[in-house]
């Protein structure tokens, strides 16, 4: 098969895997404020852990560039939040939720989708060394994407979004991966210098989202000790999981 088509199909498989992250939420019957708080804590922990991986990879390409990217990521979230805030006159509506809930869902989908652009470039650049290891890398990235789907579903499901739609939004958030992987694979030398900025941007946006939205929300409706336990355990589990892959 043509190498370019192969890279695209591999990367598409990784995007579809993200949808599996919604599965655990099929077993949850009752959605209370407390459940939403602990879901936010788990999502926050997973995103903190995932951003550690992005930083580790970004700094391997360039420390200063990763930091600049991270600051741009923070500015991006601040700008997006402000943009949403300006629609106060007519309330923001998304899926079944309005106002704050809608804003939070849109933010996490935007953040995770944007982060997939950077990950897609990383996939393409790493494939650039040859496609022989392609299948192994694909399985690794596909499995790595599942907890990202958990993070998205953990925010969407408590807002009353169905499990199927949680899965669909999770897959959607990963679609930039195949789209970016192919050009990055074809033009490795062009894309490589941009990689630390992109990875830093994704990490900055994710950590900022955790600190400004998910954790404050979790503390508001959940017990502090449980929130801290869930977030710490999820973050470390995510890092260990990625190191294992």
Partner 1 sequence: MRVTTLEPIAAVLLFSSLAALTAVLGVGPQAVGRAPSRTQIGWANALAGGLMLGVAYTLLAEGLSGALIAGGLGTLLGIGFVRVSHAAAGTGELDVDELESSGPGGGYKAILVDALHAADEGVAIGVAMVVSIPLGIAMAATLAVHNIPEAMVLSTVLTRKGLSLPRAAAVSVAVNVNQVLLAAISFGLLGLFPAALPVVAGFAVGALMYRSLVELLPESYHQAGETSIAVVTLLAMGVVVLLAGVAS
Write out the residues near partner 1 by the rule CB under 8 A: 48, 52, 55-56, 59, 63, 67, 70, 74, 78, 204, 207-208, 211-212, 215-216, 219, 224-225, 227-229, 231-233, 235-237, 239-240, 243-244
> How near is the Cβ of 31 to partner 1 at its closest, in Å?
23
Taking the least distance from each CB to partner 1, the nearer of 147 and 178 is 147
Distance CA 10, CA 19 (A): 15
CA-to-CA dists, residue 119 to 33, 49, 144, 182, angstroms: 33, 15, 11, 12
> How near is the Cβ of 13 to partner 1 at its closest, in Å?
25
> How near is the Cβ of 164 to partner 1 at its closest, in Å?
32
Taking the least distance from each CB to partner 1, the nearer of 137 and 207 is 207
Rg (CA), the chain: 17
Taking the least distance from each CB to partner 1, the nearer of 80 and 177 is 80
Taking the least distance from each CB to partner 1, the nearer of 59 and 162 is 59
CA-to-CA dists, residue 222 to 41, 134, 169, 213, 217, angstroms: 9, 43, 26, 14, 8
- By the 8 A CB rule, do 161 and 95 touch? yes
> How near is the Cβ of 136 to partner 1 at its closest, in Å?
18
Quickly list DSSP for 105-153: HHHHHHHHHHHHHHHHHHHHHHHTT-STTHHHHHHHHHHHHHHHHHHHH
Taking the least distance from each CB to partner 1, the nearer of 48 and 152 is 48
> How near is the Cβ of 81 to partner 1 at its closest, in Å?
8
Residue ranges of E strands in the chain:
93-94, 97-98
Residue with tokens 């192919």, as numbered in its chain = 182
């Amino acid at each position: 098969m043509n190498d370019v088509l192969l890279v695209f199909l591999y990367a598409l498989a990784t995007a579809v895997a993200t949808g599996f992250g919604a599965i655990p939420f099929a077993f949850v019957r009752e959605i209370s404020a407390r459940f939403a708080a602990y879901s936010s804590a788990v999502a926050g922990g997973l995103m903190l852990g995932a951003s550690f991986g992005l930083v580790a990879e970004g700094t391997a390409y360039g420390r200063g560039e990763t930091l600049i990217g991270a600051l741009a990521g923070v500015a991006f979230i601040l700008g997006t939040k402000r943009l949403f805030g300006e629609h106060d006159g007519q309330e923001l509506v998304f899926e079944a939720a309005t106002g704050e809930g809608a804003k939070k869902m849109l933010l996490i989908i935007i953040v995770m989708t944007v982060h997939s652009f950077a990950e897609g470039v990383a996939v393409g650049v790493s494939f650039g060394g040859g496609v022989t290891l392609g299948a192994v890398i694909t399985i690794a990235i596909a499995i790595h994407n599942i907890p990202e789907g958990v993070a998205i579903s953990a925010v969407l499901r408590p807002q009353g979004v169905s499990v199927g739609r949680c899965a669909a939004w999770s897959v959607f958030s990963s679609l930039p991966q195949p789209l970016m992987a192919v050009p990055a694979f074809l033009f490795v030398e062009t894309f490589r210098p941009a990689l630390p900025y992109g990875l830093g941007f994704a990490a900055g946006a994710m950590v900022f989202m955790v600190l400004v939205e998910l954790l404050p929300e979790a503390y508001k409706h959940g017990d502090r000790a449980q929130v801290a336990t869930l977030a710490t355990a999820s973050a470390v589990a995510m890092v260990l999981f990625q190191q294992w892959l």
